[in-house]
A and B are shown apart, each in its own frame.
Chain A
Amino acid sequence: MTEQTEEPADRFDRRDFVQAGALAGMFGVAGCLGGGGEGGSGESATASPTATASDTPESTATGTELEDSSDVKTGGKPVVGLGAEPQAFNPLVTSDADAWAIMDQMYPYPTARDPEDVTVTAPFVFNEWSFDPESLEGEVTLTEGFQWSDGEPLTAEGVAWWFNYLMEETGHRYEGNTNQIESIEATGEYELSFTLASETAAVFTPETGVFAVPILPAHIWKEVDDYTKYSPTELVGAQGFEWADSSAGNWYELKTNPDLLPDEIHPGPYVDRLRFRVFGDMTTLIQELKNGNVDVTYSSITPNRAFQLQDTDSVKVWNSKSRGYNYIAHNMRRVPFDDKTFRQSLGFVYPFNYLENQLRRGLTEPGDYVAAKVYEPWRPDSFDEPMDHGPYKTDDGQLDVAQAREFLTNADGAHDYTFGPVESSQVTGDKEIRVDGELLTEAHTNNDGEGGQGPIKLIITPPSTAPVEARAGARFVENLNEVGIPAETQPVAEGSQNSLVWAKEEFDMWSSGWIWMPKPHMYMSFWLTSSRADMESNSEDFNLNPMGYGNADDLVADVMSTFDPETQKQATKEALARVYEDQPALVTEYPNRLHASSNAFDGWVKVPGGITQNPWTYLNVHQA
């Protein structure tokens, strides 16, 4: 399906948008991989492809139909605009989104999402597969015709070697996948057989299955001594493109070679070359897009830029629902965050409306559960089902001081809250909160339980990196002070947050970057269970559950151990509701992903992951 026949909401238009908001979940084509903020700040660490997930179908997402190759105009050299210099071309080490933009066009995956129905797993390097959950054994037949760009064939032997290599090595990004494999070997030129180490719900699913690992050229990697130091300057791929030329840090060019890719998979690529150009800043990138020197933005752009671009005739903006979310984590070791009702009350204070209407210009959805709205079937049916839980926000998403105070004073939680005369300089409201009769600045503890920690601090990324999140955070703090809860923002550079939050748990509230959650129900086990937390904060290891939350362990375990899709959905609803009830983290929004493209090329394929983050787009793109 090309643009002419798309649903209107697929394309970005200000008039359509208002309707689209009401249709949330109906047309949810969504999400993208990597590219946190506008600066392409890289995949969040939680998005590392280590998920174990069931082969349950995708949500209501739909895809783009590929057109008949006979009427396609071939040739052309589309330019993909990158927001920053790709760091290292080493898939085992780097999580840099800009490097992945290029590596994804070189290294094929075993399977892909069917572009026409993304709920279906489509063959790619793996053509046919079978797996017996009882014996944990499986068989795979490879698609014939894949070839490495240096002339070597892509065979079962090479694939088996590659997986065995990953199983032996440690510390790489795919360890979570390959340590689930007991053994894998080639049984013919195109046949593989494997045994898994333990029962696993997802085997072949793209992004989340055991085999969701890019396939790299074995004959090249056999020569690599130490993968942690390997950083090639030219890549050998097998996905229809070969390395043409590059100028590190400036541009990278791939040459089309359709012979490397079996027609059975896709008849493309149709273009002559695929070019990647690095722009130091987004402003230059957008200007060059307007001037026709760039054809698509790889990372998501901000709503402000999207709105400016809609008036440019030569540019289209693609609006996709999010599969991920932004959240604010609460450190539950500390007073007053140890109290559930206090955490719940923060939802009444958070500026949902400001974030949605002003900062995002409507291109987001206010958050509640730790699952984006495109995962409708998994989300609780209402705030009463499957159990009574909330909602912990005002009806219109605007601050209601009286309601917030009332909620706190009436709460029957771990602490008693009262409001009295203002004493802290931060507070702008007419009253200030007391926790068990003490000023919050006195009651406020650190991880060791020592009080007197002063006002609550919200760690945010500086606005030059994350303008929207920083401003929303600043407004949240203003609202807190208006209610009478003394608070401050604490800007910390992105690179320094990991150790502060994940290793040291040295925070009160932390405004996280955008997190990609391909299977939110499965990801709960990654950051919302006690096994992922350093509950007493006495080790410096990295833990993805910095909140110290463990109250939903049983429900999350139920989700993980349930195989039947319907039962699993029910279990997920219960777990999501419990997490929402407990509020270890305040999910603030599910921000839309926005990509801009020029009119010089057609054939962008929109599947979950947006138009830029799937192989089909680059195989399918052609001159308009």
Chain B
Amino acid sequence: MARITGRYLLNRLLVSVVTVYVLATLLFVLLHAMPGSPIDSLIGPSMSTEQIENIEARFGLDQPLWIQYVQFITSVTVFDFGFSVQTLEPVRQRLIDRLIPTLVLFAPAFMIQYSLGSVIGTYLGWNRGSKLDFTGFTAGLFMYSIPFFWLAWILLGVFSYELGWFPSGSMVPPYTTSFDWLTAVVELLLHMTIPVLSLALVGWAGPMLVMRTTMQDVVDADYVDFARAQGYDEPTVMTRFGARNALIPVVTQAIIGIAFMIDGSVIVETVFSWPGIGQLLVNAIFSKDLPTALAAFYTLGVMIVVLRFFTDVVYTLLDPRIEFGGEA
């Protein structure tokens, strides 16, 4: 149980690097475990063996396996994924194009989910055992259990197709590429409403559960009693003294929450035709564009690693008293 030190961060950094390396190796293994050859979709029935060999050479498949491996690792490290076997474009460009929409959707969704969950969790935890606590806890768990895409279908059916209030998918209205900022913001909000709403509905239970448990911990703490004794009213005690100290586990939980949400991008972006990385991954897998699919996979993985490391750093700065290594 080491106290937080520079060594700790160095350790985390090392783990992150190793994770990325393992991720890349895993991709290489997966690429070669796929049935058939990665370039199947490029090979036509009328091609000669020579032409097929040319294509193989272009994708480096004619080299011995270990050379392919070394080349793969080195190029993947600098996000060079070669060319898509479907679109012939460099995969990197497509990833960059898709990264922004993913962030645009998930950053606000994440924040809404977490603020909502934390606030409700605070309240429920503070009033533990009350009827409200029971209702909120039950409702949270139940909504947590709803298949996301199913909820999205229902919301789309009602708010988009029946009522026509919101568009049914994608990020901005079609057929225009330049918007003045006001239109852009309004349209973006319109397009984001249903996805963010469904994400929040399903996901608020995560932070709520953690916050609620921690609040239970705090509610009887000495310093809370002390605050009460000093004459602060109950809401102030709850927020200023209680919640503040309960936030740290929520931040820990957020690390997992982020990863979980990035995972979910695969479903969310597919349901809402959101042009992000998750959708790219799904489409690429089904059109057997393996370089693109694995690049998207890799990018999602790197995103998680970076965010985890980032949270570690922030965490350290925020609270130098935190002990690492032993907590559950």
Direct A–B touching in the complex (beta carbon < 8 Å)? yes
Chain A residues engaging chain B, CB cutoff 8 angstroms: 45-46, 48, 50, 77, 84-85, 87-88, 90, 93-96, 170-171, 173, 175-176, 228-231, 245-251, 253, 273, 275, 277-281, 284, 287-288, 290-291, 465, 492-496, 498-500, 502, 541-544
Q: Mark B118-135, 1 if CB is under 8 A from A, else 0.
A: 000000000000000000
Closest to A464 in B: B286
CB <8 Å contact, A85 and B283 = yes
With a cutoff of 8 Å between Cβ atoms, the chain B residues found around residue A493 in the complex are 286, 288
Q: CB of B326 within 8 A of chain A?
A: no
CB <8 Å contact, B51 and A231 = no
Chain B residues engaging chain A, CB cutoff 8 angstroms: 34-37, 40-47, 49, 51-52, 54-55, 58, 83, 86-89, 97, 161, 164, 168-172, 174-177, 270, 273, 275, 279, 283, 286-289
Main secondary structure of the interface of A (DSSP, over half): loop
B304 CB to nearest A CB, Å:
24
The listed residue (B44, B170, B176, B287) touching A45 by CB distance below 8 A is B44
CB <8 Å contact, B46 and A251 = no
CA gap between A281 and B168 in the complex, in Å: 12
A305 CB to nearest B CB, Å:
15
Main secondary structure of the interface of B (DSSP, over half): loop
With a cutoff of 8 Å between Cβ atoms, the chain A residues found around residue B45 in the complex are 45-46, 48, 502, 542-544
CB <8 Å contact, A496 and B288 = yes
Closest to A504 in B: B36
CB <8 Å contact, A542 and B43 = yes
A597 CB to nearest B CB, Å:
19
Closest to A275 in B: B175
A504 CB to nearest B CB, Å:
9
With a cutoff of 8 Å between Cβ atoms, the chain A residues found around residue B176 in the complex are 245
CB <8 Å contact, B270 and A88 = no
A to B CB contacts below 8 Å, 23 in the list: A45-B44, A48-B44, A48-B45, A84-B287, A90-B88, A170-B51, A171-B51, A228-B88, A231-B89, A245-B177, A247-B174, A249-B275, A250-B171, A251-B175, A273-B175, A279-B169, A280-B279, A288-B168, A290-B161, A495-B40, A500-B35, A542-B44, A544-B45
Q: Quick one: given A170-B51, A171-B51, A284-B273, are A88 and B86 in contact (CB under 8 Å)?
A: yes
With a cutoff of 8 Å between Cβ atoms, the chain A residues found around residue B168 in the complex are 284, 287-288
Q: Number of contacts between A and B (CB, 8 Å)?
A: 116
Q: Which 10 A-B pairs have the closest CB atoms?
A: A495-B288, A499-B36, A251-B174, A280-B273, A231-B88, A171-B51, A87-B86, A496-B35, A542-B45, A88-B87
CA gap between A287 and B55 in the complex, in Å: 41
B90 CB to nearest A CB, Å:
9
With a cutoff of 8 Å between Cβ atoms, the chain A residues found around residue B175 in the complex are 77, 245, 251, 253, 273, 275
CA gap between A288 and B173 in the complex, in Å: 13
CB <8 Å contact, B169 and A284 = yes
A97 CB to nearest B CB, Å:
12
CA gap between A501 and B169 in the complex, in Å: 38
A155 CB to nearest B CB, Å:
28
CB <8 Å contact, B40 and A498 = yes
With a cutoff of 8 Å between Cβ atoms, the chain A residues found around residue B43 in the complex are 498, 542
The listed residue (B47, B86, B287, B289) touching A542 by CB distance below 8 A is B47
B50 CB to nearest A CB, Å:
8
CB <8 Å contact, B174 and A250 = yes
The listed residue (A46, A251, A498, A544) touching B36 by CB distance below 8 A is A498
B148 CB to nearest A CB, Å:
15
With a cutoff of 8 Å between Cβ atoms, the chain A residues found around residue B51 in the complex are 170-171
With a cutoff of 8 Å between Cβ atoms, the chain A residues found around residue B164 in the complex are 291
With a cutoff of 8 Å between Cβ atoms, the chain B residues found around residue A176 in the complex are 46
CA gap between A284 and B46 in the complex, in Å: 37
A39 CB to nearest B CB, Å:
9
CA gap between A229 and B164 in the complex, in Å: 43
With a cutoff of 8 Å between Cβ atoms, the chain B residues found around residue A175 in the complex are 46
Closest to A545 in B: B45
B4 CB to nearest A CB, Å:
44
CB <8 Å contact, B40 and A173 = no
The listed residue (B35, B41, B58, B171) touching A228 by CB distance below 8 A is B58
Closest to A246 in B: B177
With a cutoff of 8 Å between Cβ atoms, the chain B residues found around residue A96 in the complex are 86
CB <8 Å contact, B275 and A48 = no
Closest to A249 in B: B275
CA gap between A465 and B285 in the complex, in Å: 13
With a cutoff of 8 Å between Cβ atoms, the chain B residues found around residue A502 in the complex are 45
Q: Quick one: given A84-B283, A275-B175, A291-B161, are A93 and B88 in contact (CB under 8 Å)?
A: yes
Closest to A247 in B: B177
With a cutoff of 8 Å between Cβ atoms, the chain B residues found around residue A544 in the complex are 45
CB <8 Å contact, A173 and B44 = yes
CB <8 Å contact, A229 and B88 = yes
Most buried by A among B44, B86, B89: B44
Using A84-B283, A493-B286, A544-B45 as known contacts, list a sample of 6 further A-B pairs with CB atoms less than 8 Å apart, ordered by residue number in A: A77-B175, A171-B51, A229-B83, A251-B174, A284-B273, A493-B288
CA gap between A173 and B51 in the complex, in Å: 12
With a cutoff of 8 Å between Cβ atoms, the chain B residues found around residue A278 in the complex are 273
Closest to B89 in A: A231
CA gap between A523 and B51 in the complex, in Å: 23
CB <8 Å contact, B36 and A495 = yes
With a cutoff of 8 Å between Cβ atoms, the chain B residues found around residue A277 in the complex are 174
Q: Quick one: given A88-B88, A90-B88, A248-B97, are A500 and B46 in contact (CB under 8 Å)?
A: no
CB <8 Å contact, B174 and A275 = yes
With a cutoff of 8 Å between Cβ atoms, the chain B residues found around residue A492 in the complex are 35
CA gap between A541 and B45 in the complex, in Å: 8
With a cutoff of 8 Å between Cβ atoms, the chain A residues found around residue B279 in the complex are 280
CA gap between A48 and B161 in the complex, in Å: 39
With a cutoff of 8 Å between Cβ atoms, the chain B residues found around residue A541 in the complex are 49, 52
With a cutoff of 8 Å between Cβ atoms, the chain A residues found around residue B170 in the complex are 250
Closest to A77 in B: B175
Most buried by A among B42, B47, B86, B174: B174
CA gap between A493 and B177 in the complex, in Å: 36
CB <8 Å contact, B174 and A48 = no
Closest to A99 in B: B87
Closest to A245 in B: B177
CA gap between A253 and B174 in the complex, in Å: 9
With a cutoff of 8 Å between Cβ atoms, the chain B residues found around residue A291 in the complex are 161, 164
A256 CB to nearest B CB, Å:
14
The listed residue (A77, A95, A280) touching B270 by CB distance below 8 A is A280
CA gap between A290 and B162 in the complex, in Å: 11
CA gap between A170 and B41 in the complex, in Å: 17
With a cutoff of 8 Å between Cβ atoms, the chain B residues found around residue A287 in the complex are 161, 168
Most buried by B among A96, A284, A500: A284
CA gap between A59 and B49 in the complex, in Å: 37
With a cutoff of 8 Å between Cβ atoms, the chain A residues found around residue B83 in the complex are 229
A458 CB to nearest B CB, Å:
17
Closest to A541 in B: B49
The listed residue (A87, A250, A495) touching B275 by CB distance below 8 A is A250
CA gap between A187 and B164 in the complex, in Å: 60
B169 CB to nearest A CB, Å:
6
CB <8 Å contact, B273 and A279 = yes
B48 CB to nearest A CB, Å:
8
CA gap between A235 and B247 in the complex, in Å: 54
CB <8 Å contact, B46 and A50 = yes
With a cutoff of 8 Å between Cβ atoms, the chain B residues found around residue A494 in the complex are 288
With a cutoff of 8 Å between Cβ atoms, the chain A residues found around residue B52 in the complex are 541
CA gap between A444 and B268 in the complex, in Å: 46
CA gap between A499 and B176 in the complex, in Å: 42
The listed residue (B42, B58, B169, B177) touching A280 by CB distance below 8 A is B169
With a cutoff of 8 Å between Cβ atoms, the chain A residues found around residue B288 in the complex are 493-496
With a cutoff of 8 Å between Cβ atoms, the chain B residues found around residue A46 in the complex are 45
Q: Quick one: given A84-B283, A500-B36, are A171 and B86 in contact (CB under 8 Å)?
A: no
B43 CB to nearest A CB, Å:
6
CA gap between A96 and B270 in the complex, in Å: 20
CB <8 Å contact, A171 and B275 = no
CA gap between A500 and B36 in the complex, in Å: 7
CA gap between A48 and B46 in the complex, in Å: 9
Closest to B47 in A: A171
A514 CB to nearest B CB, Å:
16
